[in-house]
Amino acid sequence: MAFLSGVNRRFLEAVSNLLYANPFLPEMVTFERQALRGEAIEEDPLWSASVSEPDRVRANTWLIMKRLTPLVKALRASLAHGSAATDERELALYEDGLLYFFYYKHYQQFVQATFSGKARDKGRWAFYRDFCDEWKHYFHIPNVTFPTGHQARHTFACYYQIVRAFHHIFDQIIGNSEPAARLRAAVWQSVFTHDIRRYLRTLYGRMNEFATLITGPSGTGKELVARSIAMSRYVPFDENKMAFDEDPSGLFFPINIAALPGTLVESELFGHKRGSFTGAVQDKRGWLEACPPLGAVFLDEIGDLDLAIQVKLLRVIETRSFQAVGEGSAHLHRFEGKLIAATNQNLEKAIRKRRFREDLYYRLCSDQIATPSLRQQIDESPEVLSDLILFMARRVAGSEGNLLAEEASEWIKANLGADYAWPGNYRELEQCVRNILIRKDYQPQRTPVARGKKNDFFGAAKEGEMTANELLSRYCTLVYAQTGSYEETARRLEVDRRTVKAKVDEELLPSLRPGKKQGGSKNVGSR
């Protein structure tokens, strides 16, 4: 009898693909269907906590486990009685089936231990002993050598990391829309890369070598993304202490550069020696020194970083060494953590204007994530606004959340309309919900041009709703949408090509392409 029948082999191949899939991409649904065939339950591929807050384990997972559990037991017995796999691939599929089986068999124990107390509390991880006993039973079979060579301790640490990563991404990056789903998938890749097999083999201990750059408008959750990445790093498990080496809750070190003067930013980042400047009455450790190897320093609004400090930061990335302010050249400190940076600025434009170093930019952009604006989410999935309002209303009003969400939705529809631009993004929406809770009213800081008017060039200009900069930007975008050429647009407008490139509004551009219905802008482009 063959070790794996054709049916079981196909099933385990689907389980193997599912095991290493990005849970926030539609591929997960494809692999579930392949594993369960006609028995798969149709579930939303956009896995989000936005409204219904489903269980973090999909229903199809338990259907797979129902079939997988007796299969791995039978395969283990077959190997123990001398049955030989026809090739290494069959043994590898058995291993992957076991990894899936072990993760979900102990899933609730991992969740309970992860979110109750500190990671260094060894009492929480006592189930590791049972885990190891089961591991030996299934993996340590006489005369059988498995091709992958998975280890119990490392796998245990990886399961702990996966539970944390999914929790932070699922709970913090909300929105049942395609842009939000793409963002969750991108953050998962920042933690595990696109190839989780390679990550588990070698990269788990090297991700600190790759800086992450997060870009996007203000209020789109860039710090939430940074925190999710930082809190999801791999932490080794110590079998002797029966605890993890670090508590992930203390591994995130954020600095808001825009909120601090340049001299203070340098001190906060690199530390300083007593007497190095006025007010430095004692030595101070900076975040780079305080951050342990498993931690992450987050530089928010890095586009505002002084050029002189950019040079020092570049050295940190290149050599992993730095000096405190006022410290002699003989004293070097090491930074072994991960660097995460964020900005709402166009760094390429800042480079052209010599406000940001090009070499630093290329050191930061080995891993890039772009956070979508609220307007982008709504444009692709209009229903997401109601979802987000409900999510935020539940957070700020508890048991009154559903009623507040209805009230807020009605007020926004009547007073702001479906085309409101939400310039403050998610942060503004949350404050809007809070204002409606308290005053049943919300007054935007400024009244931006409605989306419906954004293409109405003459209407917006006539009503005085555009600044001079907006006027130039929209006109450049309008002409570029028709010409498709920076050079031709510059010739028509009699401006420099670089000006056109800097002023084109990428968000507005798709709606101005030829063939789109434009309110009043068509005649402008024909001039």
In the structure encoding, which two tokens stand for residue 464, read together? 């005085």
Can you spell out the DSSP letters for 474-511? HHHHHHHHHH--HHHHHHHHTS-HHHHHHH--TTTHHH
**Is residue 457 scored above 80 in pLDDT?**
no
Output the CA torsion 489→491→497→501 (10° steps). Answer: -10
Predicted confidence at residue 50, as pLDDT, reads: 45
- Note the pLDDT tens digit of each residue in 60-83: 999 999 999 999 999 999 999 887
Average pLDDT of the chain is: 87
Q: How many CB atoms lie within 10 A of CB 205?
A: 12
**Is residue 523 scored above 80 in pLDDT?**
no
Beta bridge partners of 338: 296
Bigger pLDDT: 247 or 521? Answer: 247
d(CA 382, CA 367): 30
**Is residue 518 scored above 50 in pLDDT?**
no
Bigger pLDDT: 467 or 197? Answer: 197
Residue 522: which pLDDT band, with cuts at 50, 70 and 90?
Answer: very low
Predicted confidence at residue 521, as pLDDT, reads: 37
Bigger pLDDT: 511 or 288? Answer: 288
Predicted confidence at residue 374, as pLDDT, reads: 93
**pTM: predicted TM-score of the whole model, two decimal places:** 0.82
Predicted confidence at residue 519, as pLDDT, reads: 42
**Category of 467 on φ-ψ map: left (φ > 0), alpha (ψ -120 to 50) or beta:** beta
| Residue percentage of the chain with pLDDT more than 90 | 59
- Note the pLDDT tens digit of each residue in 211-258: 999 999 999 999 999 999 999 999 999 999 999 999 988 899 999 998
Please list, in sequence order, all residues whose beta carbon lies within 8 angstroms of the beta carbon of residue 477, skipping any fewer than 6 positions away.
503, 504, 505, 508, 509, 512
**Category of 278 on φ-ψ map: left (φ > 0), alpha (ψ -120 to 50) or beta:** beta
Predicted confidence at residue 154, as pLDDT, reads: 97
d(CA 200, CA 107): 19
**Is residue 328 scored above 50 in pLDDT?**
yes
Q: Which residue carries 């203390």 as its tokens?
A: 250
Q: Which residue carries 């190997």 as its tokens?
A: 79
Bigger pLDDT: 519 or 345? Answer: 345
E strand or H helix that includes residue 370: strand 367-370
**Is residue 387 scored above 60 in pLDDT?**
yes
| Average pLDDT rounded to a whole number, residues 33-45 | 86
Is 120:238 a contact under the CB 8 Å cutoff?
A: no
Q: Which amino acid is at 100?
A: Y
Is 219:90 a contact under the CB 8 Å cutoff?
A: no
Q: How far apart are the first and last CA of the chain?
A: 80
Is 247:375 a contact under the CB 8 Å cutoff?
A: no
Is 212:341 a contact under the CB 8 Å cutoff?
A: yes
- Note the pLDDT tens digit of each residue in 108-124: 999 999 988 776 777 89
d(CA 1, CA 132): 31
E strand or H helix that includes residue 252: strand 252-256
Q: Is 43 exposed, middle or buried (0-12, 13-18, 19+ CB in 10 A)?
A: middle
Can you spell out the DSSP letters for 166-181? HHHHHHHS--SSHHHH
- Note the pLDDT tens digit of each residue in 157-212: 999 999 999 999 988 888 888 899 999 999 999 999 999 999 999 999 999 999 99
**Is residue 469 scored above 80 in pLDDT?**
no
Please list, in sequence order, all residues whose beta carbon lies within 8 angstroms of the beta carbon of residue 103, skipping any fewer than 6 positions away.
159, 162
**Is residue 517 scored above 50 in pLDDT?**
no
- Note the pLDDT tens digit of each residue in 48-57: 654 444 456 7
- Note the pLDDT tens digit of each residue in 82-110: 877 778 899 999 999 999 999 999 999 99
Residues in the chain: 527
Which spans in 50-177 are helix H?
A: 59-80, 88-105, 107-114, 128-139, 152-172
- Note the pLDDT tens digit of each residue in 3-32: 889 999 999 999 999 999 999 998 999 999
Residue 372: which pLDDT band, with cuts at 50, 70 and 90?
Answer: very high
